């Protein structure tokens, strides 16, 4: 069963669970069933996965890009926070507080012959849980960087970033990665039923730095 058939089957299953719950009064938890099926799919694909040198290097490349993505986004986040900190402390007319959040979202982009460009393809998990709930890895920068002192040690010691913290023991605990540091994002993907084959297909990561401007009025 390929991913397209898998998604069709799950849509049918969702309708079945709805009918059972609201017409036959049998409470079937669709999300639990889906999670179980995704876990089974992941185990099957991982069992069949070929640990070729090419596949190993591709996994390491994705791992590297995730690390670089966090650090690139943090440079931008620091610049934003430095500016907003100065505004708050100069009694800015509007700005009283702010929040900065980094989000990473992996995608698979495929070539479209009609438009002659790469287009974004929803991964299996976006298809299942709908486009409104894509898989994202998020981290608030507030509390990990202090503009008043320039201290960014908490950011670089965070589990998402720390290059001395290795997340290979659960999913990448084999001889192929004995000398490599696996980042938290890779571990999180595996924890969410992404098979190694799925991770290999990632060729685009959206890197977002979201800013929340806060103000208030006292009465």
How do residues 80-109 score in pLDDT, each as one tens digit? 999 999 999 999 999 999 999 999 988 877
Residues 197, 127 share a domain: yes
66 falls within a domain? yes
Q: So what's the pLDDT on residue 130? A: 44
Which tops the pLDDT comparison, 119 or 67?
Answer: 67
Q: What is the pLDDT of residues 157-175, one digit of tens each?
A: 998 888 888 888 788 877 8
Residues 183, 102 share a domain: yes
Residues 15, 123 share a domain: no
Q: So what's the pLDDT on residue 63? A: 94
Which tops the pLDDT comparison, 217 or 7?
Answer: 217
Asked if 195 and 59 count as a contact pair (C-beta separation under 8 A), the reply is no
Taking residues 195-202, what's their average pLDDT?
90
Residues 205, 109 share a domain: yes
Residue 156 exposed, middle or buried by CB count within 10 Å (0-12, 13-18, 19+): middle
60 falls within a domain? yes
140 falls within a domain? yes
Residues 87, 61 share a domain: yes
Residues 137, 33 share a domain: no
Residues 11, 105 share a domain: no
Q: Is the pLDDT of residue 67 over 80?
A: yes
Give residue 25's domain range. 3-48
101 falls within a domain? yes
Q: So what's the pLDDT on residue 181? A: 87
Domain count, the chain: 2
219 falls within a domain? no
Residues 14, 100 share a domain: no
192 falls within a domain? yes
Structural tokens at position 65: 């890009």
Residues 106, 10 share a domain: no
Q: Is the dihedral of CA 116, 119, 124, 128 positive or negative?
A: negative
With left for phi above 0 and alpha for psi between -120 and 50, is residue 143 left, alpha or beta?
A: left
Q: Is the pLDDT of residue 150 over 70?
A: yes
85 falls within a domain? yes
Phi, psi dihedrals of residue 138, rounded to the nearest 5°? -120, 150
Global pTM?
Answer: 0.78
Q: So what's the pLDDT on residue 153? A: 92
Residues 204, 172 share a domain: yes
Q: How many other C-beta atoms lie within 10 A of the C-beta of residue 181? A: 16
DSSP sequence for the chain: --HHHHHHHHHHHHHHHHHHHHTS-----HHHHHHHHHHHHHHHHHHH----HHHHHHHHHHHHHHHHHHHHHHHHHHHHHHHHHHHHHTT-SS-SEEEEEEEEEEEEEEEETTTTEEEEE--HHHHHH-TTS---EEEE-BTTBBTTTTB-HHHHTSTTT-TTS---TTTS-SGGGTT-PPPHHHHHHHHTT--HHHHHT--EEEEEEEEEEE-----
Residues 24, 116 share a domain: no
Residue 90 exposed, middle or buried by CB count within 10 Å (0-12, 13-18, 19+): exposed
Q: For residues 137 and 38, give the distance between their C-alpha atoms in angstroms, rounded to a whole number.
A: 19
Q: Is the pLDDT of residue 131 over 50?
A: no
* Bridge partner residues of 108 (DSSP): 121
Asked if 180 and 60 count as a contact pair (C-beta separation under 8 A), the reply is yes
Residues 73, 31 share a domain: no
């Amino acid at each position: 069963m390929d991913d397209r058939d898998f998604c069709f089957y799950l849509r049918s299953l969702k309708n079945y669970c709805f009918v059972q719950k609201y017409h036959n009064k049998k409470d079937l938890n669709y999300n639990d069933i889906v999670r179980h099926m995704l876990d089974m799919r992941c185990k099957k694909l991982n069992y069949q996965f070929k640990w070729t040198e090419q596949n190993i290097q591709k996994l390491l490349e994705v791992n590297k890009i995730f690390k670089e993505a966090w650090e690139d986004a943090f440079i931008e986040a620091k610049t934003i926070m430095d500016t907003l900190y100065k505004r708050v402390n100069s009694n800015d007319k509007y700005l009283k507080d702010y929040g900065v959040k980094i989000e990473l979202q992996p995608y698979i982009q495929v070539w479209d012959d009609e438009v002659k460009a790469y287009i974004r393809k929803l991964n299996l998990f976006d298809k299942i849980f709908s486009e409104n709930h894509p898989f994202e890895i998020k981290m608030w920068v507030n509390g990990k960087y202090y503009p008043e002192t320039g201290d960014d040690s908490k950011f670089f010691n965070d589990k998402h970033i720390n290059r001395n913290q290795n997340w290979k023991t659960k999913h990448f605990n084999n001889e192929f990665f004995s000398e490599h540091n696996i980042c938290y994002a890779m571990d999180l993907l595996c924890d969410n039923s992404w098979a190694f084959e799925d991770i290999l297909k990632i060729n685009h990561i959206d890197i977002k730095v979201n800013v929340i401007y806060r103000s208030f009025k006292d009465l």
